[in-house]
Amino acid sequence: MMRRHWLLVGACGWVLLILMFVSKFINFSFRIPSDQDPVMASSISRPKNIWNVIKRKMDGHKPSSKAELLKDYTERREMFVWTFPSVTTKHTSVQWPDKGASQPYILSSVGPSVVEPIDWQSVNEKRLELLSTVCRNASTWNLTHTTVDKFVLDRIFVCDKHKILFCQTPKVGNTQWKKVLIVLNGVFSKVEAIPENLVHDHERNGLPRLSSMTDTEIRQRLNSYFKFFIVRDPFERLISAFKDKFVKNPRFEPWYKHDIAPAIIRKYRRSHHDDSESVGLQFEDFVRYLGDKSGRQRLDRQFGDHIIHWLTYAELCAPCDISYNVVGHHETLERDAPYILKAAGIADLVSYPNIPPGITRYNRTKVERYFTGISQRDVRRLYASYQGDFSLFDYQRPAFLLD
């Protein structure tokens, strides 16, 4: 009896020893690296798949399935967040200072509108969540993703002093944001003192572009700086670009009327008369040109960087491939601007120029007027070219033009 008792005690002891050994082994195998563990953090921080992505790109590889698209998306995003131990494709949210600021109203263009006040932090988080969701949608992949190359980096302006990156999206009030950055860089003391002609003189305005820096400097800034850009209803933005470059041309940029307009007219005007070019570019010509996504590529190469005024937000700022902190909307800029300044930590240093009430709101009457007489086929082709922008930033499909 005693012998059986000691055998049982011995067996229990062996079981306890085995369990202790297995427990230690499991803890070691599944230990999650932290910021205080530099060896583990550095080993997991480096995206080992970057070179696979680059190799596939060089080989002309195109994803063949939704799963492969999502795999490529994750790997490409890792290229710009690889200094962080925890890698995620979700856009970075911002913790806002609690200073009792008034709450904004959401007044989107033709997108969903509500009239009750809403906390702006939650507004921005919803915008970023939608952006991240659409970025993963395989059906619109070609309309929402672009290579982060020199062209994209040329659009991003740097304020090293306050660790801010601003991506320029023309015809969305960018002049005023450039003025804000110029003041922050110390060239002028206030935005009102900055001459208009200096703002767009990139040799003299003191705003470095991200493309002017080394690969290491670019990566470091993309990973750690506050990043934002502003969007606007895509069709209203195109109307603004047409008016500014081909009708008014206030900055006297003659190449738009003398070089670009005649080239578009020759290829896309349906009825040619002897004086067709002397009439000037019509909005219908412009729409037909923009809707011919593949056919216009040769002209776009000929036009060079001047096409930035009507390229999509995806082509300009690569929002699916760079993790931005804030996406502002032109339609709610009166509310967005103060909160962007707070989020960037510069609200006490500079003010956004005054905005006349209601001037940035969506104007459906104007859109309908410009599209009057343009065939539904041409409008639908235009929408297909800019569908990515509509989806990424919650602008509703303009059914009043398409159906």
pLDDT of residue 394: 97
What angle in degrees, to the nearest 10, is found between the helix axes of 50-58 and 66-78? 120
Tokens, residue 124: 């921005």
Burial, 33: exposed, middle or buried (Cβ in 10 Å; 0-12, 13-18, 19+)?
A: middle
Report pTM.
Answer: 0.74
Please, are residues 198 and 329 in contact by the beta-carbon 8 Å criterion? no
**DSSP strand pairing (164-167 vs 226-231):** parallel
- The CA distance from 149 to 169, in Å, is 16
What does pLDDT average to in each consecutive run of 10 residues of the chain (403 residues)?
Answer: 55 60 40 34 36 43 53 49 35 46 36 50 96 96 95 96 96 92 88 85 85 97 98 97 89 86 94 63 97 92 92 97 97 93 95 86 95 96 97 96 93
- The CA distance from 392 to 145, in Å, is 11
Three-class DSSP category at 230: strand
Complete DSSP assignment for 327-355 = EEEGGGHHHHHHHHHHHTT-TTT--PPP-
Burial, 130: exposed, middle or buried (Cβ in 10 Å; 0-12, 13-18, 19+)?
A: middle
- The CA distance from 16 to 136, in Å, is 48
Which H or E run contains 271? none
Distant-in-sequence, close-in-space partners of 341: CB < 8 Å, separation ≥ 6: 180, 347, 350, 351, 352
pLDDT of residue 80: 45
- The CA distance from 300 to 319, in Å, is 22
Complete DSSP assignment for 201-225 = -TTTS---BGGGS-HHHHHHHHHHS
CA 191, 150, 230, 338 torsion-angle sign: negative
pLDDT of residue 22: 46
- The CA distance from 358 to 333, in Å, is 10
Please, are residues 226 and 344 in contact by the beta-carbon 8 Å criterion? yes
What angle in degrees, to the nearest 10, is found between the helix axes of 364-371 and 234-242? 60
pLDDT of residue 264: 96
